[in-house]
Amino acid sequence: MDNLILIYSGSDSEAGILKHQLDAAGIPSMLKSEVNAGHIAGFGAFGSCKVYINPDDQEQASEIVETFQA
């Protein structure tokens, strides 16, 4: 994960929708959810879900993220 870059952080459902949009555009991405860690630790639904991409896809992915957040 060292060579991946963070492109988005939000709720699990929002991150999942964005990941689907990135996948549809041919951009591989990875989700890292911190919400489940909160559940396991007994804190409830605390945390966010982060979307990571390859740096080579940053320009195209940034356009998709901007449209998604609009």
Alpha-carbon dihedral 39, 41, 44, 47, rounded to 10 degrees:
-80
**1-28: pLDDT as tens digits:** 569 999 999 988 899 999 999 999 999 9
Please identify which residue in the block is written with the tokens 């879900």. Answer: 49
The pTM assigned to this predicted structure is 0.81
In angstroms, the CA 57 to CA 70 distance is 20
Domain harbouring 57, CATH code:
3.30.70.1530
Q: How many structural domains does the chain have? A: 1
Which pLDDT score, from 0 to 100, does residue 31 have? Answer: 94
Q: What percent of the chain has pLDDT over 90?
A: 66
CA distances from 23 to 33, 35, 59 (A): 18, 22, 15
Which pLDDT score, from 0 to 100, does residue 48 have? Answer: 85
Which pLDDT score, from 0 to 100, does residue 33 have? Answer: 85
Residue range(s) defining the domain that contains residue 37: 5-69
